[in-house]
Structure 1
Amino acid sequence: MDDLREIRTVLAKPEPSPEVVARRRRQLHAAMSGRAPRRRARLLLVPVAAAAVAAAVVVAVARPGGPPPAVTTARDVLLVAATTAERTPEGSGTYWHITVTVGSRPPSEYWYRRDGQFWIKGKGLKGEGKLFRFTTKSQPFIVGPLRMSFDELRGLPVDEDALYTRLRSAIADGDVRTSAGAPSESDLDGFTVETLVSLVSEAPVSPQVRAAAYRALASRPGVTDLGETDDGRRLRIPMHGGDREVVVDPETARVRNTPVWAPLTGGLAFTTTGEGATIDAEWTDELPAE
């Protein structure tokens, strides 16, 4: 059946057994079937390009009398997000435009050129709501504790294991320090996960690299699903400095209404008002008028 092949593609790498496929279908159905009517309508009205992903999320009802479905795992959520990311057209343009919206407040916006030059606009930022250009020399993008050029970001591995290894090795070889000195093995793992979160949050990587980052997160121990929200799934993710809650929408493969994210300015960002931040990013050829 087409839907069964789709589930195999979305939920497993390598291909799972039929029993695992059936169990994950029941899990995702149980998790998604409890949404409010408005949320279910969104699933029914997905664009044609996302229909395959929706088919993987909204799956057949378990047979009457069968065993109760298990709780959806964080791995399931992240693997669905990975497939969404891989199938979402990237677009093109001169500037990588990032919009960060917290609650009902005006958004903060960032426009990055491939050489690292960037512009910002938003209350509380330089320029106080007016477009402001940083006139410093070209600089690399900051992802987690790493500084990477645009070409280095675009050249990251599209295999999740190779991606994790590449990032961890770069952090180990770089000038990264903690309060205790050189990072420990657990520090390196935490920094690497933080970098993966940056790749899925704001970094101008290809859809294939973003998908690999989601799959690498799915394979990390301690990543836990905390349940449904109006904007996605709440996930507890171990990073450097402790566990953090990040909200991922598997339908868009974006970080939405989340209290924690990893911006291109480096490190982690947190909301302080109890409201979550929604991150949108796309290529554009336009800068707003100053």
Structure 2
Amino acid sequence: MDDLREIRTLLAKPDPSPEVVARRRQEVRAGMRRSAPMRRARWLLVPVAAAAAAAAFVIVPAGSGEPAPASKNGREVLLVAAVSAERTPEGSGTYWHITVTHEKYPVEEYWYRRDGSFWLKGKGLKGQGKLFKFPGEPQPFAVGPLRMTFDELRRLPDDENALYDRLRSAVTESDLRTSGGPATTTEQDGFAVEALVSLISEAPVSPQVRAAAYRALASRPGVVDLGDTDGGRRLRLPLAHPGADTVVVDPDTARVRNTRLWFPLTGGAAYVEDGGVTIDAEWTDHLPAE
């Protein structure tokens, strides 16, 4: 039995004691830290094309830092995060509340209702920090480059292979294009991975589907662990957007602590080449005062 299957088997058993989970996580992390350091790259900002006038994009300045210990065990990080995701209660509420933050820029917030209606708030958005309802017809949810209704999201399979196949088929059927023309097979694979990243970071899916998305990411070729960083482990994923292919995952909470690429409900893609944003998402029963 290979290492990944062993980790999943050990961690996925029903309700092990906290001591067992903590010990296994320590073992995984010890394995991650055995390799030599990898140099962290420095990137410049690349602008993003957006589909709606209400969309605002986070601009993150270039930064630097000390090299972090790296390994090739990025898939192990994702499998540990999958276990954490499956054990995190989903909560309930009327609105799916998404908060996008960066330490140097105003917070952007979205409230998504199951019927596809949503509200926005943020200094860079329409209304200059005031809550406003997105005009027009209800919108499907952005799942990477794809769009899905709430019902479609709730019907996604919780098996990682079936989930990836569903997203990959949707990418093919959507006939997505890049600046160079129709997406290649490799780019279509990357778009499907971007949809998986949306499922783990911002989409209103069940804990079981979020865990399946983590496991599907773990099974993709080209996942690389770039080492410890603030908030968790920095991973390189095979995305369709080059230069935006790193995320920071906290395996203990299954949270994406930093991402260079995200998809606002208003359409388009928010893309920063260095730094990134943190996305928090949870159910709530309340909208803020207008």
Do these two structures clear the TM 0.5 threshold for a shared fold by scoring above it? yes
Residue of structure 2 in register with 1:54 after alignment: 22
| Deviation of the 1:53 alpha carbon | 4.5
* Alpha carbons 2:4, 2:76 under 8 Å: kept: no
| Residues 9-24 of structure 1: pairs in structure 2 closer than 5 A | 11-12=7-8, 15=9
Name the CA distance, whole Å, in 2 between partners of 1:50 and 1:124.
43
| Residues 101-250 of structure 1: pairs in structure 2 closer than 5 A | 101-242=101-242, 244-250=245-251
| Deviation of the 1:146 alpha carbon | 1.3
* Alpha carbons 1:197, 1:262 under 8 Å: kept: no
Name the CA distance, whole Å, in 2 between partners of 1:275 and 1:60.
26
Match for 1:231: what amino acid? Answer: G
SS in 2 for 1:242: coil
**Higher mean displacement: 252-261 or 74-83:** 252-261
| CA offset digits 1:194-226 (Å, max 9, x no partner) | 111111121111111111111111011111000
Any unmatched runs of 5+ in structure 1?
1-6, 22-47, 63-67
| Deviation of the 1:183 alpha carbon | 2.4
The count of residues paired between Structure 1 and Structure 2 equals 246
| CA offset digits 1:39-68 (Å, max 9, x no partner) | xxxxxxxxx997765343134999xxxxx9
| Deviation of the 1:127 alpha carbon | 1.2
* Alpha carbons 1:116, 1:141 under 8 Å: kept: yes
TM-score by length of 2: 0.76
Residue of structure 2 in register with 1:39 after alignment: none
Name the CA distance, whole Å, in 2 between partners of 1:249 and 1:97.
20
Seq. identity, % = 63
| CA offset digits 1:209-257 (Å, max 9, x no partner) | 1111111110111110000012011011111132511111111111113
SS in 1 for 2:204: coil
**Higher mean displacement: 104-113 or 121-130:** 104-113
Q: Which has the larger radius of gyration?
A: 1
Higher relative contact order (CA 8 A, sep 6+): 2
Q: Which has the higher helix share?
A: 1
Match for 2:7: what amino acid? Answer: L
Name the CA distance, whole Å, in 1 between partners of 2:282 and 2:19.
21
Match for 1:56: what amino acid? Answer: R
1:269–1:163 CA distance, 2 compared to 1 (3 A): same
SS in 1 for 2:158: coil
TM-score by length of 1: 0.76
| CA offset digits 1:170-213 (Å, max 9, x no partner) | 11112422334332211210110111111112111111111111
* Alpha carbons 1:261, 1:269 under 8 Å: kept: yes
SS in 1 for 2:278: strand
Name the CA distance, whole Å, in 2 between partners of 1:10 and 1:187.
31
Residue of structure 1 in register with 2:44 after alignment: none
Residue of structure 1 in register with 2:73 after alignment: 73
Name the CA distance, whole Å, in 2 between partners of 1:122 and 1:238.
31
